[in-house]
Structure 1
Amino acid sequence: MMDEPSTMVAELLQDTIAVYHDDPQAQETLQHHARRLEEPLRVAVTGMVKAGKSTLINAIIGEELAPTGTAECTRIVTWYRYGDTPRVTMIPREGEPRLLAVKRVNGLLDFDLRGARAEEVDRLVVDWPNSSLRDMTLIDTPGIASLSGDVSARSTDILIPDSGSSAVDALVYVMRHLREADLTFLESFRRISASQPGAINALAVISRADEIGAGRIDSLLAARDIAKRYRNDSTLGSVAMGIVPVAGLLAQTARTMRQAEFAILLELSKLDRAERERMLLSADRFIRSPDHISADAAARAALLDRFGIFGIRLATVLINSGTTEPTELAHELARRSGLNELVSLVAGQFQVRADHLKAYSAMVGVETLLRERPHAGTEAVAASLERIRVGTHEFRELRLLAASRTTGLNLPTGLAAEAERLIGGMGVAPSDRLGLAREASADDIRSAALVSLARWHAHAENPLNDRATTEVCQAVVRSCEAILARLP
């Protein structure tokens, strides 16, 4: 069921369809936007080549669906969406869609392109009965800045097309460390994304965070310090809602850990600590060291491929600290990998705003159509579009949030940070907006909201304000009132 802003946009689309009744191309575009209002949120995962995009997708889904490494399919845009029955569909650049065989090899989903080359395939669509995909379609893209211009173009065509709006609603950008090319791409996405000129709808992930500390147990602490420094950097902060470090390989393995792997880890944990650390000095030493454990070289190599040195070290430490059940260990490894924080950010910044992001995308589509394909009778549509854009508070929050991260809110630093939080910059749950713990009671939320409401009323009525400042304060007041209105 759509909320009020989405309903208004759906009606706007129908009115626009009626105006463009004699333009088949416009009709197709508008019908596409109407269908998207009913679909799950589209979240693309992209980044440089070998940044760990597919590994991260597998971790989020909790299954090994996305091919990793240098497989042919990693050069193809692949959609992962919910379906009651497993199905893989190949959409060629020319010709009709074809169903592919659904099969696994060594636990991994295997894509047989039936003789087609990657450059002949527009995209793959994987329908899969996984609860993580019910409210969010994940889109795996080939690496940008690839040595192959065709491979890079596959990502840019869907994310930052030359004309029209992006085909996705939000973006998770994966990087090993921040480079100029990363900033350039994120800035391009912000300019052309569906919410233009609305909210910044991208998150940045420092993947392979365990490599920052050379595989030491405290590697993620060092990665979090770097993420904090990036968050405080106005350049990256202007194009990304948040930056989170994730040990991607460990996150994927934690969500898909096998009993045989746990047995090897349990055996390793029983070794003398000094002996175990000598084994883990390098990958080669771990695989070829004397037979301190029963696992042969092939099993050790497989364990290393799945966990990495960091994951093996962390798992054995956790087991020796009392985490002795496989399920408990898997949950703790996932938490420590940074995956839970990422999933929480995606939920708090994207999924709860799904209807608004999709509706804003449709509005941008209508606006683009009116500008590029003028048509008699669009005056009423343009007026309705402007009324929705200006009069809908949820969209006003999106625009202010974008302004906060780019040009600023024309408020003192402390007030600007509070205003950004109250309009949803840290998440749209009442506790997030008010800076309270997630488990805060309704009474605590009500008290904090009333205090914030009174304070921002006073700011809004300050006679020394200029018009822009007063409008920001009034928007924050409206956000506080909305929090109170939703309480029981």
Structure 2
Amino acid sequence: MPELSLEQRVDNLFQSALDLTSGNPDLAIVERELRQSLARLHQPMRVAIVGLIKAGKSTMMNALLGEHLVPTGNVEATFNVNVFRWGDRPSLQVHYKDERPPETKSFDELQSLTLRAAANRDYLRSIKYIEVTYPNSILHSFDLIDTPGLESHYRDDSDNTRQFLQLHGTELSEVTQAEAQGADAVMYLFGHSLAMADKEIIELFQGGEVSQATPINAIGVLTKTDLYWSDPSITEPMVAAERVCQRLAHHPQARNLFYTIYPVCAHLALGARTLTDREWDILDRLITIPPDRFERLLRNINRFNEREYPDIPILPQERRLLAERLGQYGVWQAYNLRRSGSGDRHRLITALLEHSGIDRLRDTLVSHFGHRAYLIKLIRVLRQFKTIYFQSRPKLAGKSLQVLEEIAGRFEEIETQEHRLIELNILQNFYRRKLDFDERETRDLLAVTGEFGTDCGSKLDLGERATIPEMLAVANEKLHYWQTRSADYLTIDRDTLTAAKTMARSYELIFQRLQLAKNYLYL
């Protein structure tokens, strides 16, 4: 009889726990938590987009979706939590704080239900969250949560934003923090002007909203990097932004919180995805302007959008249309790519998306979060059960307490003995710089813990198309390497020794699985 998968063993564990708690009024809260946790394990991973108010969260959400769905504005737009889930047709449901039944609304009402407005402020504040279902490919893997934003300690230039923060800043921060803590993973967005000290940025990572972040479930994203282009000394904003990210990523505070920090120009990514025929035609006519002349014009956005010039045949309103779509930096990139012969529209869009950094971010979401989604969700529900256990235990006695202790023991056994969770723990130690691994060993660790995929070929860093004989040979080689490494008691520290033993066991399990597959095939 084939060995049960982790998912099957966990399902059986939850079912046996539900059988034990069902019908026992003393354990009603425990039973409800078990049912909710089991359902969560079978749902897509919940990724919250979190950041300071005006960090560009809604634009980032649209960029990830590849279309303009979430309302955006010149000031912070999102008043409520928006949960985007997969659905074969667009729909919208409003969930209320007072627990009244959810209300179905027209999908076209999303903007009016999300943007703050004095006329319907009381109604907006009665909403707990808005559930949006939509047929978008990324929603097959993730539920994306657009949060209202965190109140900044730094002053904003906008009077209406300051007034808004005075009225609602703390309230929206509390909502955002709750969503961050309730999600399986977090993308933390932040801006960084060139005049802002790294120390100020690091301070943003020290609040409660990121207290539960770890390199396993959190990614930092430097946003609005296109604004760097307004500095005449900077010709490549993404290069400058990459340097900022690398510097921040090496800071101990950030290193303990985030898997990585990426720069992303979400405005450019969204604009590239949604470029219209008319805007393509405007761009095609703009490339007739000489580069020096065009750069001088574009560096001053008001001049680019408003002034008429006898030597420029493109009307100001047309230039403004393109600038609103792509941003200054985006227009500059599109102009240069088009002049250099980037080819057709598809190739131009592909190049702009690459410049924006959005594709790298999406790939990381899939490889780092998606391939480990079940494990990350499992860790979360095990942690939640511990909370319920400690809250319920003092109130119980007799048979009910005995049942709770039995369930807790079974859950603890999964947590401490399941090898895939042990692998994730050594990966956590690696991100926290506790392991003395060289480049090759690091590659093995990332592969075997699912960074490149969850099949045996990917875990062996061979890809999905490797044959069983090829995989067996590599698994055997790596098994012997890590067995030797784990026997080196004298020269490596305890954390590295534990990790090496875990790696040896990982390759032993892969080798056994492949051997079984080979025997089955050649029966």
Q: Relative to structure 1, is the Cα distance of residues 212 and 73 closer, same or farther in structure 2, using a 3 angstrom cutoff? A: closer
What is residue 297 of structure 1 aligned with on the other side? 316
Match of 1:472 among 488, 499, 522: 499
Contact kept in structure 2, 1:190 and 1:200, CA below 8 Å? no
Q: How does 1:130-141 map to 2 (within 5 A)?
A: 130-141=136-147
Task: Check if 1:110 corresponds to 2:106.
Answer: no
Indicate the SS of the match to 1:45.
strand
Distance 1:280 1:447 in 2: 59
Contact kept in structure 2, 1:199 and 1:400, CA below 8 Å? no
Q: How does 1:302-321 map to 2 (within 5 A)?
A: 302-321=321-340
Task: Check if 1:207 corresponds to 2:223.
Answer: yes
Contact kept in structure 2, 1:5 and 1:359, CA below 8 Å? no
Deviation at 1:266, TM superposition (A): 1.1
Counterpart AA for 1:117: Y
Deviation at 1:316, TM superposition (A): 0.8
Q: How does 1:20-419 map to 2 (within 5 A)?
A: 20-21=21-22, 22=25, 23-69=27-73, 74-94=78-98, 95-103=100-108, 110-112=111-113, 115=120, 117-146=123-152, 147=165, 148-160=169-181, 167-177=182-192, 179-185=201-207, 189-191=210-212, 200-214=216-230, 216-291=234-309, 292-374=311-393, 375-406=401-432, 408-409=434-435, 411=436, 417=442
Cα shift readout 1:18-73 (whole Å, capped 9, x = no counterpart) = 33332333322221111111111111111111111111111111111111126786
Indicate the SS of the match to 2:434.
coil
Contact kept in structure 2, 1:213 and 1:222, CA below 8 Å? no
Deviation at 1:91, TM superposition (A): 1.1
Distance 2:390 2:313 in 1: 69
Cα shift readout 1:314-357 (whole Å, capped 9, x = no counterpart) = 00111112123222211211111101110111000011111112
Paired residue total: 468
TM (normalized to structure 1)? 0.86
Counterpart AA for 1:472: A
Counting aligned pairs with the same residue, the percent is: 26
Larger radius of gyration: 2
Contact kept in structure 2, 1:269 and 1:319, CA below 8 Å? yes
Distance 1:210 1:482 in 2: 47
Q: Relative to structure 1, is the Cα distance of residues 249 and 41 closer, same or farther in structure 2, using a 3 angstrom cutoff? A: same
Distance 1:287 1:335 in 2: 26
Distance 2:513 2:228 in 1: 43
Deviation at 1:149, TM superposition (A): 0.5
Unaligned ranges ≥5, structure 2: 153-164, 193-197, 394-400, 518-523
Deviation at 1:190, TM superposition (A): 5.0
Unaligned ranges ≥5, structure 1: 161-166
Cα shift readout 1:164-194 (whole Å, capped 9, x = no counterpart) = xxx2111111111361343214x76453x6x
Contact kept in structure 1, 2:434 and 2:495, CA below 8 Å? no
RMSD of aligned Cα (Å): 3.0
Counterpart AA for 1:132: I
Deviation at 1:403, TM superposition (A): 2.3
Q: Relative to structure 1, is the Cα distance of residues 229 and 17 closer, same or farther in structure 2, using a 3 angstrom cutoff? A: same
Task: Check if 1:462 corresponds to 2:488.
Answer: yes
Q: Relative to structure 1, is the Cα distance of residues 431 and 257 closer, same or farther in structure 2, using a 3 angstrom cutoff? A: farther
Q: Tell which has more relative contact order, 1 or 2 (C-alpha 8 A, sep 6+).
A: 1
Deviation at 1:418, TM superposition (A): 5.4
> Which stretch of structure 1 is more off in the superposition, 292-301 or 413-422?
413-422
Deviation at 1:230, TM superposition (A): 2.5
Counterpart AA for 1:271: I
Distance 1:117 1:61 in 2: 28
> Which stretch of structure 1 is more off in the superposition, 289-298 or 168-177?
289-298
